[in-house]
Structure 1
C-alpha cells in the first residue's frame, strides 16, 4: 500500500515541461556610456519623417517642398525649433503616371501636439545627439483626366480604357491582397489575348491566310460599288463626289433646270425695289420671309434668285393634290397630281406680295397675288424635271422635290452678304455650308424626323448649335433653347448613310 502512494506523488516542476512558459528577457547590448545632448537648430529645412498610410511601398518619386507661415503657432516653446514652429511644410509630386502625391503636417490630431526627434549615434565620439524633425503624412490620389477645351467628339473606347486604368491603379495602391491578385490575373489574360492596336489576332491572321490574296480588295470594291448604286437609286440630287468645296457638291446647275439661265429669268426686281423702299415683302413661306430682307440688303443677286426659285418649288409642292386610291391616274401609294397647266402657271408665279405702304403689311399677309409672271419655258422646265410623268408624281418624285429644296437651302448662308464683303462665306466656316431646317420643316409640313433624315441623306451632319454660334442662328434662350434646335452642316468629304446589311435572314 505504501508503494502505491509513493508512485502517485506529484512530479517536480522540472519534470513537467522542458520549455519554459515565460519568454526569457533579452540581453541588453553592451554599449559604452554615451553622452546625450539636444542639438539646437532653428532652421526651417529640418529632417522629415514621412508616414505613408494606404500605400503599399514607398513611391520612387521626387517630392517638391513648399513652405508657408503657420496660421496658428501652437508648438512654440523655449526648447522647440523656431523654424518648425513658425512654418508649415508641404510636399507634392506629380511624377507618377497616374497618381498625385501630397504630404501635409498634422494640424488637428494628436501628432500636432507632439514633438518628433531623430537620434544620431556616433560610437567614435561616444555621443547621442537628438534633432527635432517634422512629421509629414504622404497620401496618393488618382489624377483627374483633363479634357481639352473645344473637343466635341471623344472616343468611347478611349474613355473606357482610361477608366479601367484608373480602377486598376486604385486597386494596386489601396486594394486588398485578393483584389490585387485578381486584377493582376485579368491584366495577364488581357496581354495574352489582345493583340496590339491595329494588328490582327491569331484567328484573324489564319482566316486571312486562307483567303485569296485579292479577296479583301474585292470585298472593299464591291462594297463601295454597292454603296454608289444604292445612293444613285435614291430620290436625291446627284452629288459631285470630286468637289473641293461644299458648294460644289450640289451645284446650282444640278439643282436648277437649265442652271443660271433659269435663275436669271425669275422676277426679283420688285422684291429689291420694295425692300430698298423700306417696305415688307410678304410670302407664303416662313423660310423665305425670314431671309428675304437680309439677302436683298446684302446685294447678292444670286442668293435672291435662289430664294425665288425655292419659293417656286414650295408653291409647286403646296399645289400637289392626292392621286386618289384606285384611280386610273394614281401612280401608287403616296402619289400626287399636278393642277391644270393654267392654274399651275398662276400658282408658281404667286406666293408673295409687295405692300405699297407699311399700313398694308398686316392686311396683305394672306394675299398671294403675283406681281410678275414666271415665263412659260421656265415652268415647262420645272415640270419636266420634277414631274417627268406629268400630271402624276410618284412618291419618289415628291421626295426628290423635297430633297432638292433642302439642297438649295444650303446655298443660303446664315448671314447673307455680298460676295467677299465682309464675311466671304456669310458666317459659315471655310469648309462648311450650314442651314437651320426648322423653317423648311414647317413649309413642307413634315415632322422633325423626316426633314432631318432628308439632310442626312444629302450627306449633312445634323447636330445642335455650338455656343459660339448662338448669335449667328438667333438663339436668345441660351443652352436650353439650343438643345431644341438643330443645324444641318455639309462638309468635305461628304459622308452618306451606310448601306444597311439587314438582319431579316436571321429573323424567324
Structure 2
C-alpha cells in the first residue's frame, strides 16, 4: 500500500543572517516589520509606527499643499465638522430650559450677567414705581413699614441717601417678594398643601389691596403676567416652573441691590422666602453663582456663632458664569447639583 501525503507549507519569518554576506537574505514584508515593531519595538519605535498610521488615515496630514482632490475625497471632507460645538453654545441651550432669567453669557462683569433691563422687563416699570411717601417718611424720621427682612434696611438707607434709582429698584424687588408670599400663602381657612395647584388672586380681592395701595394696578398685573401660566396675570395659575422663575428673579435682583454688590448673605432672604440654606443655595447655583458655607473669618466678621453661621450661605456672582455641570469659558468644570 502506498500512502501519499501533501504537506501544507507554512511561511516562516526569515531569520536574521549572521554571516558576513547579506546577498542571500530577503527583506521582511511590511506587515511582518510592523508586527515585530509592535511586539518587540522600543517605545520610540512604536510611537513612530503610530504616527505613520495616523498620517495614513488623516486627510489633513496626508494631502500635500496645493494637491488637487479627487471628487470623492472632496465630498467626504465637505461633510466632516471643522470644529467641536462651542461650550458656550451648549451652556446657552442648557440655561434656556431652566426657570431662570435669561443670562448674558458674554458678560464681562457681574452687572452684565443679569442686566436690570432683563430682570425688570419693560423699563417703564421702574419709573412707574411710587417712592415719594417712602422718601417723605424717612426724611421725617417716621416709622416705615417694609414687609421684608432683606430689603427693609436697604430701602431705608437708599431713601436716606435720596438715591431714586436704588429706591425704585428695591421697591420693585419688594413687589416680587410680596407676590411670592401671596402665591405660597393658602387662602384663609384652608390648610397649606405644598403640592396643590397655586393661583395668583385677582386684583379686586382683599388680599391684593395692600399691593394696590403701594403700586399701581397696571404695574402689578404687568409684573404678574411674567410669572403666571399662559401670561394670565392676576387671577392666573402659577405652575412650579413659574414660581421658580419668580424666585430666581428675586435672587438675581438681590445680587444687584446687596451691599457689597453681587455678594449675598442668604439668611434674611431665607426668612423672606421661607427657605432653608440648601434650598436657596441650589436656586442661586442655578443662576451660575458660587455658593459656599461661611468660613471662620466670615462668621467672626458678622459676629456669628458657629451654629448661626451654619444656617446660612454666602453667595457670590462672578463671570464667567458657572452653571451646575456646565461652565461658560475655560478652566475647571462647573459645580454639580
8 Å contact from structure 2 (residues 111, 256) kept in 1: yes
Cα distance in 2 for residues equivalent to 1:237 and 1:457: 10
When residues 438 and 208 of structure 1 are mapped into structure 2, their CA distance, relative to the original with a 3 A threshold, is farther
2:237 aligns with 392
Q: Secondary structure at the match of 1:435?
A: strand
Cα distance in 2 for residues equivalent to 1:450 and 1:205: 53
1:301 aligns with 164
When residues 216 and 447 of structure 1 are mapped into structure 2, their CA distance, relative to the original with a 3 A threshold, is farther
How big is each residue's C-alpha offset from its partner over 1:441-495, in whole Å with a ceiling of 9 and x where there is no partner?
Answer: 1111122211111111111101245677668xx6123777545542211112111
Identify which of 260, 269, 275 aligns with 1:440: 269
Larger RCO of the pair (alpha carbons < 8 Å, separation 6+): 2
Does 1:380 pair with 2:244?
no
When residues 384 and 404 of structure 1 are mapped into structure 2, their CA distance, relative to the original with a 3 A threshold, is same
CA RMSD of aligned residues (A): 3.7
How big is each residue's C-alpha offset from its partner over 1:303-338, in whole Å with a ceiling of 9 and x where there is no partner?
Answer: 2112211221111112226899xxxxxxxx563111
More strand by share: 1
8 Å contact from structure 2 (residues 155, 171) kept in 1: no
Q: Secondary structure at the match of 1:299?
A: coil
2:281 aligns with 452
TM-score, normalised on structure 1? 0.43
How big is each residue's C-alpha offset from its partner over 1:137-177, in whole Å with a ceiling of 9 and x where there is no partner?
Answer: xxxxxxxxxxxxxxxxxxxxxxxxxxxxxxxxxxxxxxxxx
Q: Secondary structure at the match of 1:459?
A: coil
When residues 440 and 482 of structure 1 are mapped into structure 2, their CA distance, relative to the original with a 3 A threshold, is closer
Q: Secondary structure at the match of 1:455?
A: helix
Larger-gyration structure (1/2): 1
Identify which of 454, 457, 477 aligns with 2:304: 477
1:249-288 equivalences in 2 (<5 Å): 249-259=113-123, 261-288=124-151
8 Å contact from structure 2 (residues 277, 313) kept in 1: no
Cα distance in 2 for residues equivalent to 1:248 and 1:468: 30
1:138-149 equivalences in 2 (<5 Å): none
Cα distance in 1 for residues equivalent to 2:54 and 2:159: 61
TM-superposed deviation, 1:376: 2.4
2:180 aligns with 317
Gaps of 5+ in 1: 1-191, 194-200, 325-332, 350-371, 415-426, 500-508
How big is each residue's C-alpha offset from its partner over 1:202-247, in whole Å with a ceiling of 9 and x where there is no partner?
Answer: 9x999998899867943x54x6544322210111000111222211
1:5-404 equivalences in 2 (<5 Å): 217-218=83-84, 220-221=85-86, 224-259=88-123, 261-320=124-183, 335-343=197-205, 345-349=208-212, 372-389=213-230, 390=232, 391-404=236-249
Q: Secondary structure at the match of 1:488?
A: strand
How big is each residue's C-alpha offset from its partner over 1:406-438, in whole Å with a ceiling of 9 and x where there is no partner?
Answer: 001011131xxxxxxxxxxxx45xxxx211222
How big is each residue's C-alpha offset from its partner over 1:266-299, in whole Å with a ceiling of 9 and x where there is no partner?
Answer: 1111112112222331222211223222222233
8 Å contact from structure 1 (residues 412, 435) kept in 2: no
When residues 440 and 208 of structure 1 are mapped into structure 2, their CA distance, relative to the original with a 3 A threshold, is farther
TM-superposed deviation, 1:400: 0.3
More helix by share: 2
Corresponding residue pairs, total: 251
8 Å contact from structure 2 (residues 203, 217) kept in 1: no
